[in-house]
Chain A
Amino acid sequence: MSVKSSSVLLTGATGAVGSELLRRLAARKETTVNALVRRGSTRQPDIAGILRDLEPVARVVVLEGELRDGPTLGLAEADLNALARETTHIVHCGGSTSFTLPLSEARALNVCGTRAILDFARRCDNLQCVALFSTVYVSGKRSGGFSEDDFGDAGMGFVNSYEQSKAEMEEIVRNAMHDLPVLLLRLSTVAGDSNTGMVRGFNAIHHAIRLVYNGLAPMIPGDPDECVDIVSSDFVADAALHLIDHGDTGVFHLASGAESSSSLADLIGATVDSLVRFRPAWRKRAIEKPLIVDLDTYDLFVRSVEEAGNEVMRDATRSISTFAYQLAHPKLFDTARTRAALDGSRIAPGRALEFYPRVVKYCLDSSWGTRPC
């Protein structure tokens, strides 16, 4: 993208990852960013906020569209044609990251939306790169190593509809790799900014922190020693743009891998330590660390909570369960290709336990995004 006169179609610019990319792209000279924003999105003002704070150098245009509208992307034909003529790069972050959508809805956005982006990419004569965001959890219920050459769940199934829809998305992306310059970026869980702890999109890990804080997380399934892969949002954005700039194609894991991951026990320990450190009064509540238990025990507990019908506990347990079952299938995400590509760039996933306490602090200070801080 260092090539002059880049024109980037960015989807998902109001999201956790997309907004980080927008910040960086907006600071680039001789760049046009066409941000396709969901029509009716309440987060559109966020883009104005970003641009106001940054005083962008690039030309940023907001296009109201809709990923579910198929190949038109919800744009008028003339606008679509003009966009296809000028686009040199597509950075597709738009989609659903909800773990609880019915599969059909998750598919409509993540599979059909991506198909629409790929169809559009085929119309772009000057296209240099189409970067598509995915997740390392397309691996589903597999256990063990998962490399950048691996695809899908190997028949093991998925923990939630999100994972499945992303894996199905990858199937069509794989086909597109034959005729398009596809860069497929599989992210692990994005926790927040490594320097400030700032969280732009609260996800499962932040909800889990809140449940621990509220004393509503008695147990989670897993193995104390298994690796939990979390990455910072700045690493993800910097690494993604580096790979796009260098014209890389193929599959890359933007994950912390064995080197920078933390064990599940250490991450839970760091959560509790951070809560005590940043909210000393929290200690008074005498909340115990969640237990790490085997899957059968967890299942029995979940079943009991469901049968008992206590709504608060049930909601808390359901919210943990949407991702916690993933912990029962420990994996290590290999990052060899990414490390090689980033070699010499000084872009690396920081050690999870170093930046994670800042994320916990941000969650507390912002009351999980409900108050400014």
Chain B
Amino acid sequence: MDRVTDYETGIDAIAEYLPERVATLGELDAAGLLGGSAAVLASFGFEGVHLAGEESNVDMAIAAAGKLFAENEIDRDEIGVVLYATALTSSSTMWNAGSASAMNGAPESVLELSEVSDLFRYPASRLQAELQLRNAAVIGVNQLGCASIFAALRLARAMIVAEDDLKSVLCVSADKFPPSHKRDLIYNVVSDGACAALVRRGAARNRIVECTHVTKGALWDSGSLENEILAAYFPTAKALIERTLDKAGLTIDDIALVIPHNVSLRSWQILGRLIGCPLERIFTENISRVGHTVASDNLLNLRRATESGRIKRGDHLLLFTFGYGLNWACMILEH
């Protein structure tokens, strides 16, 4: 691979959509939406999450991508591919569109199949049409839990490097949690949200330096293997982060800021120690405020970190996430 070709492929623009409605841990608890103790989740760094109301997963995806176009001067015709990444299986269908929030409505099943044709109603195509991305072919990226957006970004870069006539790829991620279900998953509190990112040849920022991803299929059954999943998390995360740094010819000291997924602050305190990165160099501000937006955390955090002025041009950033399946993904960017 000619490394010069992909030198400037990077994430040029990011936008997110977070539902307006915020519920505190106490409110979630009162609504019966927490399986574990609110006090423990608070001690793990969570305060509240965003809850989608009427907006569906697709509405959120369209809103995030729409914001991306509104905020940046992007020629929609330059987008050759849309990579629509989803963590929840239900997010790659239209099924939960318009479902009532459990905070004010009766619980309802997300996967309520009325017609077989429902199985072929895809959010990605709808988004392409709504945003008038007429040159964009759509591809769904799923089955990697919260790591799906990392796979989309990785594929985007690889496609741009491989295809001369492909300049830009729109990566989108949107997940709406089943409204009536408990929002804490292995000690993390799940938020609804979406994000969109433009991966572009000749990007002005966020050059994608390295992408790595490890899947441990043996731990696919998140229901019955929770203990094994918990135990596998740290050793695999440490190994992958170190491998990624190694591949990039960097050490953790070269990383100006770690852009995390919004899982428990406690887990980042531990992982930070394991990889030798002090907590001050991990952008954890959004864990309490936003919660874990399934696959959108890292891009959302990258945008907020950029806006906060904490990173400057040329800084190396390390993004890390973990998704059911079981997947760990890591990426290094040069800002």
Contacts and interface: CB of A to CB of B under 8 A. Distances in A.
Nearest to A297: B273
Contacts of A215: 227-228, 231-232
Contacts of A307: 40, 43-44
Contacts of A294: 273
Given A286-B219, A307-B43, A308-B40, A297 B231 contact: no
Given A289-B235, A309-B40, A313-B230, A301 B218 contact: no
Interface string B225-238: 01110111111101
A77 interface: no
Contacts of A285: 218, 228
A219 interface: yes
Interface string B183-217: 00001000000000000000000000000000011
Contacts of B233: 218
Interface in A275-289: 284-289
A216 B225 CA distance: 11
A342 B15 CA distance: 75
B155 to A, nearest CB: 24
Interface size band for A? 20 to 34
B269 interface: yes
Contacts of B40: 307-309
A293 B274 contact: yes
A82 interface: no
A310 B216 contact: no
Nearest to B43: A307
A296 interface: yes
A3 interface: no
Contacts of A308: 36, 40, 44, 187
A296 B273 contact: yes
Contact of B218 (A216, A218, A219, A286): A286
B270 A301 contact: yes
Q: Classify the interface of chain B: helix, strand, loop or mixed.
A: helix
A286 B270 contact: no
A293 B217 CA distance: 26
B239 interface: yes
Nearest to B238: A291
B266 interface: yes
A246 to B, nearest CB: 48
A372 B34 CA distance: 46
B274 A288 contact: no
Q: How large, as a class, is the contact surface on chain B? A: 20 to 34
A216 B267 contact: no
A218 B228 contact: no
A217 interface: yes
Nearest to B231: A218
A373 interface: no
A158 to B, nearest CB: 26
Contacts of A297: 270, 273-274
Q: Which of the listed residues A300, A307, A310 has the most CB atoms from chain B within 10 Å of its own CB?
A: A307
A218 B229 CA distance: 10
Nearest to B227: A312
A79 B85 CA distance: 81
A290 B227 CA distance: 15
A313 B226 CA distance: 10
Contacts of B273: 293-294, 296-297, 300
B148 to A, nearest CB: 20
Contacts of A301: 234, 270
B266 A216 contact: no
B234 A218 contact: yes
A304 B274 CA distance: 15
Given A297-B273, A307-B40, A291 B234 contact: yes
Nearest to A300: B270
Nearest to B271: A297
B270 A216 contact: no
A340 B48 CA distance: 67
A103 to B, nearest CB: 30
A276 B210 CA distance: 31
Contact of B226 (A219, A288, A304, A310): A310
A218 B269 CA distance: 16
B235 A219 contact: yes
A316 B231 CA distance: 10
Given A309-B36, A312-B227, A218 B266 contact: no
A293 B234 CA distance: 11
A297 B275 CA distance: 11
B216 A216 contact: no
Contacts of A284: 218
B231 A300 contact: no
A216 B236 contact: no
A312 B227 CA distance: 7
A300 B219 CA distance: 25
Nearest to A308: B187
A313 B234 CA distance: 14
A293 B269 CA distance: 13
Contacts of A300: 266, 269-270, 273
Interface string B216-260: 111100000011101111111011000000000000000000000
25 contacts: A215-B231, A217-B231, A218-B230, A218-B234, A218-B235, A219-B234, A285-B228, A286-B216, A286-B217, A286-B218, A287-B228, A288-B232, A288-B235, A288-B239, A291-B238, A293-B273, A296-B273, A304-B266, A308-B36, A308-B187, A309-B40, A312-B227, A313-B227, A313-B230, A316-B231
Interface of B: 36-37, 40, 43-44, 187, 216-219, 226-228, 230-236, 238-239, 266-267, 269-270, 273-274
Given A217-B231, A219-B234, A286-B217, 11 more contacts: A218-B234, A286-B216, A287-B232, A291-B235, A291-B274, A293-B274, A301-B234, A310-B226, A310-B227, A313-B227, A316-B227
Closest 4 CB pairs of A and B: A288-B235, A286-B216, A297-B273, A312-B227
